[in-house]
Amino acid sequence: MVQGVTNVVVAGVGGQGIMTLARWLGRAAAALGLDVRIAEVHGLSQRGGSVEVHLRFGERVRSPTISEGDADYVLALEALEALRAFRYLKQSSLLISNKRVIQVPGRYVDPSSVFSALGSLPFVRLVPAYDIALKLGDPIYENAALLGYAATVMGLAAAVDWLDERNARAFREGAALAAKA
């Protein structure tokens, strides 16, 4: 069972299902009887824009927002957004990032430099959520794969029982990777 309040920043690019991922985690926490607060605090949810959602859950949660240096977890559906959201992490926090860099028209980012920067941090887990989703036939399932990984790490996986079959398959694959980590 979760003790105290858990602070999670969910980051990514508009159109990836950032808010959906945060709501799914919140739903799992609520199913365990925890108080949940969610706030979209930064970015445009339009396709291609930077998006940040703050999720807090625990016995009693007052405010939905998370200050820099206070997050227990950062979940990122895009690796460059993981680097941007890094500032929210506590010293002993975990950054869980999809192993994917989305190229923005007119501004190329070298994926190897992004992964090198992430790889230099001791508390980062790169999850091939996009690859799992493609294997299932649609990139839309990448948030379910990352949910599986994150919910397993956070002790919320048992409460996730509402996903449709393809999302559930992506969830199980993400959870299996977390169990091996």
Name the pLDDT band for 42 (thresholds 50, 70, 90). low
pLDDT in tens, 107-165: 889 999 999 999 998 799 999 999 999 999 999 999 999 999 999 999 999 999 999 99
Name the pLDDT band for 22 (thresholds 50, 70, 90). very high
Residue 15: CB partners within 8 Å, gap ≥ 6?
45, 46, 47, 48
pLDDT in tens, 73-115: 999 999 999 999 999 999 889 999 999 999 977 788 999 999 9
14 or 38, which is more confident?
Answer: 38
Domain extents in the chain = 5-103+110-180
Is the whole model's pTM more than 0.85, yes or no? Answer: yes
Would you identify the CATH topology of the domain 5-103+110-180? Pyruvate-ferredoxin Oxidoreductase; domain 3 (3.40.920)
Residue 7 has φ and ψ, to the nearest 5°, of -110, 125
The answer to whether residue 46 scores a pLDDT higher than 70 is no
pLDDT at position 5, please? 97
